[in-house]
Chain A
Amino acid sequence: MNFIKRYLIPRLISYFLVIWLGITIVFFIPRLIPNDPVIKMVDQMRARGSTLEPGTMDGIIHDLTVMYGLEGSTLEQYRDFWVRLAHGDLGVSFFQFPAPVSDLIATALPWTLGLLLTTTAISWVFGNIIGGLAGYYTRRSWSRTLDAVAMVIRPMPYYIFSFVLLLLFTYVWRWFPVTGGASLGALPEFTWGYIKDVLWHSFLPGLSLSALGMAVNFQVMKLLVQNINAEDYVQYARLGGVTNTRIVSKYIIRNALLPQITGLALSFGQIFSGALITEIVFGYPGVGMLLYRAIINGDYNLIMGITMLSIVGITTAMLIVDLAYPLLDPRVRYT
C-alpha cells in the first residue's frame, strides 16, 4: 500500500507528465513555422498543372485543413489533436498523401525492429561477456589489447562507422550488398531464400551498429567487473575460501549485471526512432529511412508520428526499469 502511494503513483505521474510535455512540444514546433503546409500542397498541385475552379479549390483547401488537423484556433487544434491521438490516429502523411502515418510507420517498423533488436541484443551479450572477461583478467595482454581497440571504436559515432564499412566493402572486400533491405523485387515471404536475402542485406548495417554497441558495453562491463573485483565483499569471499565459480557467478557477475540490465532496457526503448544515418547510408527500409524521407519532403505529420512513438518508447522503458529494479536489487526497496 505504502509502495503504491509513496512510489508508484508519483512515478506514474512523472511518466505521464514527461510524455505530455514531449508530445506538446512536438505539437507546437511545426505550428510555429510560418509557411502553411496546405497552401504549399495546393501550390504543388498547381505547379503540376492541375487547373481547378476556384470553388473546388476552396473545398480542397478546407478538406486538407481538416485532414491535417489545422482547423480552428491553436487551442482547438491542440484539443482535437489529443482526441485523435486517443483513437490512435496520427494523421495523414503530407508527402505520401493520403496514407495514414500509422500505416507508414507500421510498414517500416518491422525492418527497424528486426535490425535494431538483433544488434542491440548481440552487442549487449557479446560486449558484456568479453568486457567481463577482460575486467576479470585485467592484467593479461589480450585484455589490454581489447581495451585499446574499444578505445578506438568507442568515440566514433555509429554513422561514421557506417561510412567506413561502406567504403571498405565497396572497394576492398565486395562480399556484401551495400544497399537495400532485400534484393530488388524480392517478395516478402517466409522462405529460407528470402530470410537469407534479408540477413545478407542487413549484415553491414548490423555490423556498423553492433560494433559500436559492443565497444560501449565492453568498456562499461570491464570497468564494473574491475571495480567489483576490488570490492570488500569479493576480497572477503576470497579470504573465506569461497570457490571461484561461486565468486564469479554470484558475487561478480550478479552485481555487475544490475546496471547493465538497466542499460539494455533503455537501449531497447531507444530503437523506435531507427538508426537514421545507417539506414540512409545502406538504403535500409526502416523507420530511419522513413524519417529521412519525411525530413526532405517536409512531412511534419510523419516526423511527429515517429517522434511520439519514440517518446513513448523511451519513457516506457525507463518506467519499466524503475519499477523492476527493486526486484533485482534488494537495496532498493520501496517500503
Chain B
Amino acid sequence: MKTLIDLFKDYRFSFAFVVLLVILIMALLSFFSPYDPTLWYVVPRDLKPSSEHLLGTDSNGQDIFWQATYAVRNSLTISLISASVSRVIAILVGMIAGYKGGTIDRVLMFLGDSLLVIPLFLIFVMLAMMVREHMNLVVLGLMLSFFGWPWDARLIRSMVLSLRERDFTRTALLSGTGTIKLVLKEYMPFTMPLIFSTLINNMAFAIGLEITLALLGLVDLTIPTLGTMLNWAYFSHAILLERWWWILTPVILSICMFIALYWLSVSISEYLDPRTRIQRVGA
C-alpha cells in the first residue's frame, strides 16, 4: 500500500495508470459492442463524431468507437501473448546460461546475439509472408514472442551470474538445495523486478511491431487491431479526404498506449532501483 502511494506521487505512474485503466475499460467494453467488428456497412458511412457515433464512422460503414474497443482488446491480447511467452523463453535461456555457464552459456548467448545482430524485422516480414493465410492473433503473438527474448535473456543472465557469486548460493548448495529449487526460490525474487519491467517494454515492442506488419498488409485485415485500423484509415485516404476522426483514433490510442507503457516501466524501475531514487549522498 505504501509502495502504491509512493508510486502515485510520480506523475508518470499516475498518468500511465489512468491511461491504461481507460484502455482496459475500452477493451472490456468490446464485449458489449452492438456491432460485429467483421461486418461492413452496419452503420452509415463517413459520419463525423456525434452523440450517436462517439468517434464517427468510417468508409467501411463501421462505428469507429466500437471498432476501437476491439482494436485495443486485440492489440493487448497479442502483446500479452508475445510478452509472456517471450518472458518464459528469456527467463529459461537467461537462467540456464547464467547458472550453467561454460559451453551451454556460450552457445545460447551466441544464438541470442545473432538474433540481435540479424535484421530481425526483415526476417520477420518473410516469415509473416509465409504464414499469411494462417495469420491470427495467437500465431502473431507467438511469432512476435520468438523475437523478443534475446536482449532480456542477456539481462537476466548477467543478474544470475552475479547472484551465483553471492553467499546464499553457496549456503543453499551446501545444504543440499536442488538447482531448480534454488533458481526458482532464491533467484526468482531478485529477478522479478527486472522481468516485470522487460515485460512492459516487450508489450510496447509487440504492439509496435503489430502496427508495422499491419501497415504492410501482413496480418489479417479483417481482425480489428490498432495496426489494421491504421492500415484501413491510411490506405482509404482518410487523410486526403479529410476524415481526420478515422485516422486520429488509432494514432492517438497508440500514442497513449506507448507513452503509458513506457512511463509505467520507467517509474516502476526507478522506484525499484534505489540508486536512481535517492541521488548519491556522500555523507
Q: Which residues of B contact A270 (CB under 8 A)?
A: 119
Binds A, one of B28-36, B40-48, B260-268: B260-268
Residue on B with the closest CB to A310? B119
Q: Quick check: A307 and B123 within 8 Å, CB to CB?
A: yes
Residue on B with the closest CB to A166? B239
Q: Quick check: A22 and B259 within 8 Å, CB to CB?
A: no
- Please provide the chain A residues from 137 to 178 with a CB less than 8 Å away from any CB of chain B in the complex: 151-152, 154-157, 159-160, 163-164, 166-167, 170-171
Q: Which residues of B contact A30 (CB under 8 A)?
A: 126, 130
Residue on B with the closest CB to A235? B282
Q: How many residues of B contact A (CB 8 A)?
A: 43
* Most B C-beta atoms less than 10 A away, residue of A273, A280, A311: A311
Residue A332 lies at the interface, judged by CB distance under 8 Å to chain B: no
Residue A32 lies at the interface, judged by CB distance under 8 Å to chain B: yes
Could you tell me the distance in whole angstroms from the C-beta of A26 to the nearest C-beta in chain B?
A: 7
Residue B122 lies at the interface, judged by CB distance under 8 Å to chain A: yes
Counting chain A residues whose Cβ lies within 8 A of the other chain, the interface size class is 35 or more
Residue A187 lies at the interface, judged by CB distance under 8 Å to chain B: no
Could you tell me the distance in whole angstroms from the C-beta of A111 to the nearest C-beta in chain B?
A: 18
Q: Quick check: B280 and A230 within 8 Å, CB to CB?
A: yes
Q: Quick check: B119 and A160 within 8 Å, CB to CB?
A: no
Could you tell me the distance in whole angstroms from the C-beta of A136 to the nearest C-beta in chain B?
A: 15
Residue A237 lies at the interface, judged by CB distance under 8 Å to chain B: no
Q: Quick check: A295 and B129 within 8 Å, CB to CB?
A: yes
Q: Quick check: B259 and A156 within 8 Å, CB to CB?
A: yes
Q: How far is the CA of A224 from the CA of B279 in the complex (A)?
A: 14
Could you tell me the distance in whole angstroms from the C-beta of B198 to the nearest C-beta in chain A?
A: 15
B1-30 interface bits toward A, Cβ cutoff 8 Å, 1 = contact, 0 = none: 000000000001000000000000000000
Could you tell me the distance in whole angstroms from the C-beta of B237 to the nearest C-beta in chain A?
A: 11
Residue B199 lies at the interface, judged by CB distance under 8 Å to chain A: no
Could you tell me the distance in whole angstroms from the C-beta of A103 to the nearest C-beta in chain B?
A: 20
Q: Quick check: A273 and B122 within 8 Å, CB to CB?
A: yes
Q: Quick check: A170 and B239 within 8 Å, CB to CB?
A: yes
Could you tell me the distance in whole angstroms from the C-beta of B109 to the nearest C-beta in chain A?
A: 11
Q: Quick check: A167 and B118 within 8 Å, CB to CB?
A: no
Given contacts A155-B261, A160-B255, A314-B117, contact A26 B247 (CB under 8 A): no
Q: Quick check: B118 and A276 within 8 Å, CB to CB?
A: no
Residue B151 lies at the interface, judged by CB distance under 8 Å to chain A: no
Q: Which residues of B contact A291 (CB under 8 A)?
A: 122, 125
Q: Quick check: B251 and A273 within 8 Å, CB to CB?
A: no
Residue A25 lies at the interface, judged by CB distance under 8 Å to chain B: yes
Given contacts A167-B239, A296-B216, A303-B125, contact A315 B258 (CB under 8 A): no
- Please provide the chain B residues from 192 to 229 with a CB less than 8 Å away from any CB of chain A in the complex: 204, 208, 211-212, 215-218
A-B contact list, 7 entries, CB within 8 Å: A17-B110, A22-B117, A29-B123, A159-B212, A160-B258, A295-B216, A310-B119
